[in-house]
Structure 1
Amino acid sequence: MKKFSFLILLCVFFIISYPTKGEAAAVQSKIILDSKEISMPANVKVHVVNENVMIPIRIVVENLKFKVDWDQKSQGVKIQQDAKIISLKVNQQEATVDGKQVVLTAAPQVKNETVLVPIRFVSEQMGISVSWDNLDKTVYLTSSTKDSIDVGQADTVVETLLPITEVPEVDTEPMGTNGSGQTTNAVNHINRLSFVNNQLIISSDGAVIPKISRLTNPDRIVVDLPNTTFADSFGSLQPLDAGLKGILDISGYPNISEVRYSLFTRDPYQVRVVIALTQANAFQLITGVDSNMLVIDLNVTEDSTATVPPIIESGRKVVVIDPGHGGSDPGTTSITNKYEKNFNLSLALKVQELLLKEPNIEVVMTRDSDIYPTRTERVQLANQLNADVFVSIHGNSVLAAPQVNGTETYYYQRSSSKDLANIIHKYLIKAIGLTDRGVKNGSLQVIRETTMPAVLLEVGFLSNRSDEQIMSSDTVQYKAAQAIVDGIKEYMGVK
C-alpha cells in the first residue's frame, strides 16, 4: 500500500493541464496496473521520446484525493503526502525527491493536455515495478514487488559446478562501489545482447562485473549481471515479453541449443542470461573498455591456458561488415521513397554470402536484420574481435541536388585504411561503373574509432534516379559485393 501511495503521488502530476509542447512519437498502447487494464481516453497514449518510453498515468488516479501545488509561472508541480515530497517541472530533466536532486532519462513533456514522464522514473524513484513490452506496446505497472522472474526450469544456481576455465581479473572497480569502497545504488542497463562467432556479447551503459557459473543436467552457462536491468529501448532491438524474458535467435551453432534471458530479480535488479548447451563447453570472459561490453567466448577448450584465447582459429582473417543504419534509424530516403538501411543490409548480406565461402576468412556482421546497433557498439564489436578489416556500407544522398551521382570511399588518417580504401574503391568503380568521386579522408565515428584498417563505402546516390535504379538491381549488388570481397582479399593477401 505504501508503494501504491507513492504511485498516487506521482500520478497527480498528470491530471494538470498545460499548453502542448515538445515532440513525441505516439504509439497505440495499453497500460496494465496490477494485472488490470486501465481504460484510456482516445487522445491519451504512451509516447516514445528519443528511445525513452513516456507514460501518461494520470488516468490511474482519477477520483483519488491528494495534496498538490501547481505553479503556473514556473510550470512546476509540488506533490506531498505525509513526509514525501516530489517536485517536477515540464521540460526539465532534474526533479527533486525528498530534497535530493535526481535526473530523469528524459524531461517531462506535454501532449494532448497530459504530462508524460519516463517509466524509469516511476521504477527508480517511486519503487514501482515497471516494464515495457515493445511487441504488444504495453506498459505494465506493479505496485507490489515480485520476488523474482525465472528464466526457465532448473536455472537456479544450486547444483554442483563443473570445473570452470579461469576467468581473468577485471581491471575495474566492482559494481556497487564508487572507487573508494563505498557502496552505491547505481543501476546499469543492458542495451543489447547478440551471439556471433560462438560468442555471447553483452553491451551495457555502465561497468558490470558478471557472476558466471557452468552447470550440468542440462549443460548450460549461467551469466548473472548484478544491479542491472534492461534499457527502455532493449525491446525495440530484440524480443522482450511482458515478463521481461526473451530468447535470442540462434542458428548455425551446433554446440548451442538456446540463449535465453530475463530480469531474474527486481530487488535488487539482476539480469540473467542462460546459454543452453548441447554438451559441456568451456568458456572465457573477455571485457571491453570500462567493462561496458562483456564477451563470453566459447571458442576455448578445457585445457586452454591462454589468458584470452584466440577468437578465430589460427590463420583465419577476421572481417567485420557493417550495414549502416537499421531499425529505428532508416538513414536517408531515396528518390523513390526507399530507406537506405534496406539497401545497406541487402548489399552487406551478399558480401557476407560471398565471404562465407572463403576458407581463410571469418566474417562477422554488426547486424544481419533490421535492428539498430549504435555506432559505438559497432566500433566496440570490431575492436573487441581485434578484426583485420572493417567495412561499413552506405548509400549517399543530396536531396537538394538530385543530379549529383557516383561512388566515393572514405577512410580516416591511417595509411592502412587509405590503402584498403584505394583497393576496394578500384574494384567497386570497375564493377558497377558509376561516376568515380574518389577516395576521401573523413572523420566518421565507425572508421575513426576502430583500430584496424577501416573504410566507409558510399556506393552511390540514392537521391539520384539513375544511381538508385542501378543500386536496387540484385545483379548489380552481387557485382558490388564481389568487388568488395575482391578488394578485401587483395588487401589482406588472401587467395
Structure 2
Amino acid sequence: MKKFSLLILLCAFFIISCPSKGEAAAVQSKIILDSKEISMPANVQVHVVNENVMIPIRIVVENLKFKVDWDQKSQGVKIQQDAKIISLTVNQQEATVDGKQVVLTAAPQVKNETVLVPIRFVSEQMGISVSWDNLDKTVYLTSSNKESIKDGQAGTVETVLPTTDAPEVTEVDTDPIASNGSGQTTNLLNHVNRLNFVNNQLIISSDGAVTPNISRLTNPDRIVVDLPNTTFADSFGSVQPLDAGLKGILDVSGYPNISEVRYSLFTRDPYQVRVVIALKQANAYQLIPGLDSNMLIIDLNVTEDSTTYVPPVVGSGRKIVVIDPGHGGSDPGTTSITNKHEKDFTLPLSLKVQALLLKEPNIAVVMTRDSDVYPTRPKRVQLANQLKADVFVSIHGNSLLNSPQANGTETYYYQRSSSKDLANVIHKYLVKAIGLRDRGVKNESFQVIRETTMPAVLLEIGFLSNSAEEMILQSDDMQNKAAQAIVDGIKEYVGVK
C-alpha cells in the first residue's frame, strides 16, 4: 500500500490559524500507525464532530515524505507525491483525488491549530485499514492490506463507520474481523447506531441487517434481545449513555410495567449486543417490521394470549418527535447546481436536529434513517403512525434547475389545522435564523405529511439549485442555525421549555 494513501489524511495535519467551526467533542485517545504509537501533543486529540470520528494527524507528516502546500487565503491544502494530487479545503465536504471529486462524511475542521478529517475518509479514499477501538479510544491505521490490526488483544471493541457514496473511488473493506466463536472469522460486523424505547416499543437501529434472538425469561420477568455479530457504533456513546464497560440504561420512566431497559456488549467472542427489557410482570411482545432491514421493533403493546394491539395506558410523558431526513440510499433526491445529492444535505442537518433534541429530557426523538439507506415513504408514514408520534418533521432541500435564480425557504403542511400551526411555528424560526427569502407556508399533498396522523410538516430549507444559496446551505454554520431553529419551533409547538 503506497504511503501516498495516507496523504489525504495528512492534509489534516498542518498547523493552521483559524477558529474551529462546528461542535467537536474531544476524546482522550491514541493513534497507532503500523503498530507504532504516534506521540500526540497535549492539545491534539481525536474528536467526535456530529457523530463523525475526526482524526488530527498533522503529527504524521513527520513520518512521511511528500510535498504539502497550504494556502492560507483559501484554507486549502494540496498534497502531492509524484503525479498524484489531492486537495482539501477546510469547512468544505468536497475534496479532489487526481481531479476527481469525492464527498467527505464531514467537512475538515480546525481544532487547536490542527485540521481534522473524518475517519471514514481514511478508509474510503486512501486505501488504509482503519479501525476505532471504542473501549480505549484508539485509532488504528495500517498501511498494509487487510490485516488483523489487534490480534491477540482481548477486551477491545473495533468498529468502522458505514460507507458513504463516493463516486469513482474504490472502497476498501475495513470492517473489523469478528470471531464467530468457532475459531473462524467473518467480516461484516454490524453496529448498533441507536436504541429508543417509545410508546412501549423498543426500536433498534443498526448499520446492517441483524436477525435477533429473543427470549422471555422469568424470576424476574424479562425479555432478552440478543444481536449476534454486533457491537456498538463508535458514535453510539455520543448520542446515549455508554459507560467504559460498554453498558447503559434507557430512560423508561412512566411505563407502568417496565422496570428498566439495559444494554451491553454482552460478549466479544463472538461479538454480541444484548438488550434486556426488565418487566414488573410477564408481558407478551411481537417483532414487527421496521423501516428497513436495519431497524428492529419489539412491540410490547399486545395481550398475553394473542397479538391483539393494546394501546399503553401510560406513556413516558415525553413528546415523541419523528425526524425524517429526506431521500437516502437508492433515492438521491434532487441534484444541486454543483451535482451534489439532496440526501447528502438532509442527513447531516437532520443528525444535528437529533443531537439537539437528545438534550431535551421531555422529548423522545426517533429518526426514520440515520445512515445512507432508503426507507420508502409508506414505511416512514407507518413508523410515525405506529409510534403515535406527537410531531413529524421531514427535512429537504429544494431545486429548480431550469430556474437557478429561485431561492428561499418554504414549509409545507397538508390540510390539518394542527399541521398548519406546526408549519407556521417552525417556519417562523427558520426564516429568522438562516435569513433566506421567506417563500411562505403552503398546503401540499406530499405523502409523508398527508398520510401521517399527527401534526406533520415538510421543510424545504433552501434551494440547492441556486449556487449562492447552496454554498450557504452546505456550511456547518447555517446547518447549526437551521437545526436550532427547527428544534426551537418543535419545542414551542409541543409546549416544552
Q: TM-score, normalised by structure 1?
A: 0.49
